[in-house]
Chains A and B, each alone.
Chain A
Amino acid sequence: MEKELIRLENVAKAFGNLRVLDEVDLSIYESEFITLLGPSGCGKTTMLRIIGGFEMPDMGRVIFDGKDITNLPPNKRPINTVFQKYSLFSHMNVEENIAFGPKIAGKSDDYIRDKIKYALKLVNLEGYEKHDVTKLSGGQQQRIAIARAVVNEPKVLLLDEPLSALDLKLRRNMRRELVRINKETGITFIFVTHDQEEALSMSDRVVVMNQGYIQQVGTPEDVYNEPENAFVADFIGDSNIIDGVMVRDRLVRIFGREYPCVDEGFPEECPVDVQIRPEDIILDAPQEGAFNGVVTNAVFWGMSYDINVEADGFEWLIQSTTRRTVGERVSLHVAPENIQIMSKPQSEDEEVARNV
């Protein structure tokens, strides 16, 4: 892996009685696009604010480039933030907003002028220097907020759900833009979102969080294909999560039937969570001895149908391009490599594994 830039060591934070971060460890590498993903209240924003210096951790340390910056105020950190609601200075025009940081840093007028040009070009808003920020559209304001942050040449850019206020189409565009800016500038991006689609489509690595714990860290493919626990499986994409028992290596028992799978290393007769993606279930005509069920619901989504099938008292979600009618009897089939075995969490909110 590349050079480590930020390391969170044993970081914990509570607001009153509410523990938002529970002894979290995380390494962030130079130039990567890392996403903190989780439902609201999972601690992702608090983690971002601790990195930015806006919150002090109750415990633990924040290491930046080998130096302890835990007690450094935000203005002393080589880190800039793009805020959720942009937080542009309404009493300044575009140019003054972007010049704010370099001016404070005491840069020369020529340098600042060049930098403004560069930053506006980077966000595709050339020629907007004199525009009133309050009269720009949401997407344009967002771009100015990015330009205002990037112009300071930070080592790290923190992005706090920056796309949540934009409409769908703009959001898609900005996703591509952000990835491009990340690659072009080499600035490390730490991106916070609750949108799993954003996380999967933009990130080099995804940190899935829940209830103050890191649930899994990995590439988008890792967390989608190999979720380490039921929470990750459920939160990222749609999933069928069923109780199962590992009979032995490569054999799992679900609803009294034994299925071959590809996972190993679990103790024999160990209870596990079994995850099967809706797109991995193949429907066929009912067969003797197969896993049969009845279609209870079918919704057309454009690209595919979401089909619910009741079988053995469990409501399965299946995505299929073939239309099925309600009441139809079908059989369900899954390839062994599409059965994902996950160990059950020790307690409700404890993390299962770390993959740092």
Chain B
Amino acid sequence: MFNHGTRNLLLTPFLIWAGLFIFIPLVCIVWYGITDYDENFSLINMGLIFERGYLDALKLSIWLALISTVICLLLSYPLCLILTERQRDNSTIISLLFILPLWMNSLLSTMAWQTILEGNGIINQILRLFGLPALQMINTEGAIVLGMVYNFLPYMVLPLYITLTKIDKRILEAARDLGANSWQTFVRVILPLSLPGAISGITMVFIPALTTFVISALLGGGKLLLIGNIIEQEFTFQYDWHVGCALSVILMIFIVLNMILTTYFDKSHEEEDF
């Protein structure tokens, strides 16, 4: 589309941006992560992951991010399938359902969940009205998962919906024609064809869920620490940039691993032999 010179020229602004605000900070983080307070190379800060219960926080983060991702997937598939099955144009429904929640500041909506779930919150007030015992909802793993799903669901729905709309309806008719019932059509045709959308949805939900500290701080009440909260504390309370960066690097390793795994899964499925 563009010749070589124009292409370079057009790419320059982004490259400058990426260099200044992505690449250099990344180098700084890695540098702080692998050095000690005397600026000497050291993995001592990285090794801290095995102490102070940091490993448990990382495990819990991965676990909760995983659960949230699975819930988002389970919620999105039926919704997107129903939306794409309709013949008429439903772009307004799409924007209402998916884009509107994004208009709301995520911090604000998470705080709203806090007031709904807390001991004196709306749900418990209603329960009390009927003479039922109050529920411990805030500061639980469930509350954090709820917050994650609430905030990140649009990022699953959107890529999934787009890939599902690209599947030709006649292909589904062909599957039906060849004897497949609805479930077999879904498993053998829709699922593999929508996998790229699901993969990008998984990545877009799993990574922010893994790194969040706002949701866990507000809905976990500081009692359930995720790796994000620990990194935040290292920076804001301990002023220990070396530990914070070291833990960030470890988290990044997990994110890259996750991406490698998902793309591998995507590819291995394509190459799966009959």
Q: Which residues of A pack against B, CB within 8 Å? A: 52-54, 73-75, 79-81, 83-85, 87-93, 95-96, 99-101, 104-105, 148-149, 152
Checking A79, A80, A81, A99 against B274 with a beta-carbon cut-off of 8 angstroms, the contacting residue is A99
A residues less than 8 Å from B176 (CB atoms): 53-54, 73-75
B residues less than 8 Å from A80 (CB atoms): 177-178
B residues less than 8 Å from A104 (CB atoms): 178-180, 184, 188
Known contacts A93-B274, A100-B175; is-contact A87 B180 (Cβ 8 Å)? no
Interface centre among A99, A100, A101 (most CB of B within 10 A): A100
From A92, which residue of chain B is reached at the shortest CB distance?
B274
A96 to B270, CA, bound (A): 12
Q: Is B178 within 8 A of A87, CB to CB?
A: no
Question: Shortest CB–CB separation between residue A293 and chain B, in angstroms?
Answer: 51
The contact sample of 26 A-B pairs, CB cut-off 8 A, is A53-B176, A73-B176, A74-B176, A75-B178, A80-B177, A81-B177, A85-B168, A87-B168, A87-B170, A87-B173, A87-B174, A88-B171, A89-B171, A91-B192, A91-B193, A92-B274, A93-B274, A99-B274, A100-B178, A100-B188, A101-B179, A104-B184, A104-B188, A105-B179, A149-B177, A152-B179
Q: Is A89 within 8 A of B189, CB to CB?
A: yes
Known: A75-B180, A88-B171. 18 other contacts (CB 8 A): A75-B181, A81-B173, A81-B174, A81-B177, A87-B168, A87-B170, A90-B193, A91-B189, A91-B192, A92-B274, A93-B274, A99-B274, A100-B178, A101-B178, A104-B184, A104-B188, A149-B178, A152-B179
From B178, which residue of chain A is reached at the shortest CB distance?
A101
A residues less than 8 Å from B177 (CB atoms): 52, 54, 74-75, 79-81, 149
From A93, which residue of chain B is reached at the shortest CB distance?
B274
From B172, which residue of chain A is reached at the shortest CB distance?
A87
Q: Is B179 within 8 A of A75, CB to CB?
A: yes
Residues B176-204 near A (CB distance < 8 A): 176-181, 184, 188-189, 192-193
Question: Shortest CB–CB separation between residue A83 and chain B, in angstroms?
Answer: 5
Question: Shortest CB–CB separation between residue B187 and chain A, in angstroms?
Answer: 11
A148 to B179, CA, bound (A): 12
Q: Is A89 within 8 A of B179, CB to CB?
A: no
B residues less than 8 Å from A85 (CB atoms): 168, 170
Q: Is A74 within 8 A of B173, CB to CB?
A: yes
From A116, which residue of chain B is reached at the shortest CB distance?
B274
Q: Is B173 within 8 A of A83, CB to CB?
A: yes
B residues less than 8 Å from A88 (CB atoms): 171, 174
From B185, which residue of chain A is reached at the shortest CB distance?
A75
The tally of residues in B whose CB lies under 8 Å from a CB in A reads 19
Known contacts A75-B180, A100-B188, A104-B180; is-contact A89 B274 (Cβ 8 Å)? no
Q: Is A152 within 8 A of B178, CB to CB?
A: yes
A190 to B193, CA, bound (A): 30
A95 to B274, CA, bound (A): 8
A residues less than 8 Å from B175 (CB atoms): 89, 100
Question: Shortest CB–CB separation between residue B167 and chain A, in angstroms?
Answer: 9
A residues less than 8 Å from B270 (CB atoms): 91
Question: Shortest CB–CB separation between residue A115 and chain B, in angstroms?
Answer: 13
Interface centre among B170, B175, B177, B189 (most CB of A within 10 A): B177
A264 to B175, CA, bound (A): 53
Question: Shortest CB–CB separation between residue A85 and chain B, in angstroms?
Answer: 6
Q: Is A96 within 8 A of B173, CB to CB?
A: no
A74 to B181, CA, bound (A): 9
A residues less than 8 Å from B274 (CB atoms): 92-93, 95-96, 99
Q: Is B174 within 8 A of A89, CB to CB?
A: yes
A residues less than 8 Å from B181 (CB atoms): 73, 75
A90 to B179, CA, bound (A): 18
A52 to B173, CA, bound (A): 10
A79 to B174, CA, bound (A): 11
A53 to B173, CA, bound (A): 10
Question: Shortest CB–CB separation between residue A49 and chain B, in angstroms?
Answer: 9
Question: Shortest CB–CB separation between residue A54 and chain B, in angstroms?
Answer: 6
A254 to B184, CA, bound (A): 64
Interface centre among A89, A93, A148 (most CB of B within 10 A): A89
From A145, which residue of chain B is reached at the shortest CB distance?
B174
A residues less than 8 Å from B193 (CB atoms): 90-91
Interface centre among A52, A83, A84, A87 (most CB of B within 10 A): A87
From B176, which residue of chain A is reached at the shortest CB distance?
A74
B residues less than 8 Å from A93 (CB atoms): 274
Per-position binary interface string of chain B over residues 83-114, scored 1 when its CB falls under 8 Å from any chain A CB and 0 otherwise: 00000000000000000000000000000000
Question: Shortest CB–CB separation between residue B39 and chain A, in angstroms?
Answer: 53
A residues less than 8 Å from B179 (CB atoms): 75, 101, 104-105, 152
From B181, which residue of chain A is reached at the shortest CB distance?
A75
Per-position binary interface string of chain B over residues 62-74, scored 1 when its CB falls under 8 Å from any chain A CB and 0 otherwise: 0000000000000
Question: Shortest CB–CB separation between residue B188 and chain A, in angstroms?
Answer: 7
Question: Shortest CB–CB separation between residue B50 and chain A, in angstroms?
Answer: 43
Q: Is B174 within 8 A of A83, CB to CB?
A: yes
